[in-house]
Amino acid sequence: MILIVDDSLFLAGGLIAAAWGLAHLLPARALKKVSGGDAKSPRPAISWVAEGFALIFIGAIVLLSVALAGTENDATRAVTWSAAAAMFAFATVNLFIGARASRAVPKLSALTEGLAGTLFLIGSFINS
């Protein structure tokens, strides 16, 4: 029974991370217009897209490691612990950005990334 729970937590966290990363990539052009960026300074859009690719990679690597290797090995444990640390790092950065921003997107991003990191962390505790 417990083996199914940690698999489900890892898969849910991986899907949330990958879906949120995809949500970063879709509105990148609109973000540049909203942020007031001009053609000379595309930094907000580039960082948004870079974070999106990183989230997709984190979600995909967790999904692949769980699907191909299972959860009862050291490699998957290392991947899920690392993914949890990365998601909490993203959540912390977005929390500080969200505290300064008037928009709700960085706050929602911190919440979503923190949720995925928490799922990875709980699954890792159950698995170890």
Whether the CB-CB separation of 52 and 32 falls below 8 Å is answered with: no
Structure tokens at 83: 């993914």
Confidence grade of residue 1 (pLDDT, cut at 50, 70, 90): very low
Q: Residue written as tokens 């907000």?
A: 44
Predicted structure pTM score: 0.83
What would you report as the CA-atom Rg of the chain, rounded to the nearest whole angstrom? 16
pLDDT at 34 over 60: no
pLDDT at 40 over 70: no
Q: In whole angstroms, give the CA distance from residue 93 to residue 82.
A: 17
pLDDT (tens digit per residue) in 59-112 = 999 999 999 988 888 899 999 999 999 999 999 998 887 777 777 777 888 899
Q: Residue written as tokens 């859009």?
A: 45
Domain ranges of the chain: 2-127
Closest CA to 13 of 125, 113, 128: 113
The distance between the two most distant Cα atoms of the chain, rounded to a whole number of Å, is 55
